[in-house]
Structure formats: structure tokens, C-alpha cells
Amino acid sequence: MPAMIEAHGLVKTFGDFRAVDGIDFRVEAGEFFGMLGPNGAGKTSTIRMISCVVPITAGALQVDGLDVRYEDRAIKARLGVVPQDDNLDQDLSVRKNLEVYARYYDVPKRLARERIDEGLELMQLQDRADERISALSGGMKRRLVVARALVNEPRLLILDEPTTGLDPQARHLVWRKLRLLRERGVTILLTTHYMDEAEHLCDRLIVMDHGRALDDGRPRTLIERYVGRDVLELHLNDEERARVRAYLDPRLGESARVEQIEDVTYVYGLGQEHAREVEELVGDHYRVIDRRANLEDVFLTLTGRALVE
């Protein structure tokens, strides 16, 4: 079967600025695929090319077997897009927002009603159907934007930072609904700078920075490849940091290493016995966090700087 998205040497420039710098990736049909990176990494520029909003500068890009350069109208008809901003019509009710959107895709009225009812139920908004947008919370608005993107029954759902600004409860509700859509066979492309979101939702992901692809794979595979299982996170002053480094240096080998990011020392692959000894060496005066490795650690390892900026 052809890939839902296939990019080779994809480039997007704005004047002299290369927003996307020759990336390659492939998204299979039915896959939940993530694009992870900080603001300015090139994620939004990439999805705008996939959505046929801006033309590609160089390389090749196909969506559902169609070339974005020549078949943009056919591609747009197969997409559902959840933008970063909640661009809902404030003067219309929840249901009217969805009805207007259905007309853009020439969905017959009876079928549109069925899909709208289904989308409102899926996103737990059925009791808000007649309310104006201003009466909704931030989490409700995001769920409504997702419901709107499903009205045309898209083969590919594109989510651009879908949970930015939401409280933890609202984020987890959106996650649950997105996992349900994936179980129904919808291909989902997610851009996010939340590493926990990518790790919880994505089958595979690509890590981007400065328009380039640093690596791709399953979240846990990337974590094990670059970091290992556990991380020791040390918040120390200069004197304590020197004492810990003197202890660590003779014990570091191929599987253990230290990264210093601003005032935090990260120790990867040290092992539980040595980790406990470091905690005893530091004592209770400074923070020592022994935790499981995550995707932010992968990004720190690849770039040397924090993921969220």
C-alpha cells in the first residue's frame, strides 16, 4: 500500500531562510505519527506544505499517493486540519460552526447532520450544541475544532499543537479522543513540543530542530537508543557539582555519560548502585531526581538544549 505521506528531500524557504531543510519521512496509513521539536523547528511549515497551503520549494511530497504540486484540490478534500488557533466563528453556535464547515465540503445536509451529531457525541459536546462559542472553555473549544475537522470524514487528520494552553484534565480528555480516532483507522499527524504528549500518543515520530530531521523511530526506541532507561537529574551549586564530577568521572564508560545543561547536571546510564551513592554524596541539601528517561532527554542529547523554549 502507498504511504499516507511520503517526503523526500523536502525543502521550504522564505527568502534566505530555510524553514525546512531537506527532510525525509514516511507516514503509513492508519499510523499516529508525530513531529517533535521546539518553536521554529519547521513543524508548522511542514504541515502547511502537506495541507497544500504553501508550495514546496524543493524535493518531493505526496499525500495519499497524490503529488502536492499538481493535485492540491484532491488532497485538501481528504484532510481534516486542527490549527494552532481556535479559529471558530464567535457569532455562531457550536452546531452552526460545524454546519458551515460541512458546506465547504459539499456534504449533503442529512449526512452532515449525522456526522455533526456523531462528532459532538465523540467530543462530549452534545449538550453544548446550541451555545455560542464564547460560552465554551478552552478545552471545549479545542474539542470542537477536532470535531469540525472530522465532518468531511478525512483520511488524514492533521493536528498542529492541539493541546497548547490546556489544563492537564482537558489535555488527557483530548488524548483519549485522539486514541479512539486512531483505533477507528484514521491516520493522524501530530505536531507538538510536549514530549509527554508525543510519547503517549505516537506510534512513531520524527525529531526536528532548525528545519532538519535529527532522527525518527518509535518513542521508546529513540529513548533507549540515545539515553537508556534511567536518568539522574542533579540540581547542585558549583562546589557540589565539582564533588559529584570527581566521583563520576572514573565511573563513566560507554554506557554512562554526563550532560550539563545550564545549571542542571544530567547523568545517563549510571546504574542504580552508583545513583544511590551519588544521592548519599550530595545529601539532603540539593535536589537529586532519579527518574525514567523520556523524549526530552533524547532532544537534550541530540541538540544540547532544552526542548521547550
> What residues does each domain of the chain span?
5-223, 229-292
Closest to 74 measured CA to CA, from 64, 87, 84, 86: 64
Q: Could you identify the residue written with the cell 477507528?
A: 184
Is residue 272's pLDDT more than 60? yes
H or E element at residue 72: helix 72-76
Closest to 157 measured CA to CA, from 125, 190, 124: 190
Closest to 157 measured CA to CA, from 78, 69, 87: 78
d(CA 309, CA 305): 9
- What is the percent of the chain with per-residue pLDDT over 70, rounded to a whole number? 94
pLDDT at 309: 46
- What φ, ψ does residue 289 adopt, rounded to 5°? -115, 115
In CATH, the number for domain 229-292 is 3.30.70.120
Q: Mean pLDDT across the stretch 254-282?
A: 76
Instruction: Give 70-99 pLDDT, tens digit per residue.
Output: 999 999 999 999 998 888 999 999 999 999
pLDDT at 217: 95
| Total residues belonging to the chain | 309
pLDDT at 291: 81
Fold of 5-223: Rossmann fold (3.40.50)
* Minimum mean pLDDT range among 102-111, 153-162, 200-209, 288-297: 288-297
| DSSP 3-state of 216 | strand
Instruction: Give 112-165 pLDDT, tens digit per residue.
Output: 999 999 999 999 999 999 999 999 998 899 999 999 999 999 999 999 988 888
Model confidence, pTM: 0.86
Q: Mean pLDDT across the stretch 225-251?
A: 82
Q: How far apart are the first and last CA of the chain?
A: 39
Q: Mean pLDDT across the stretch 211-229?
A: 91
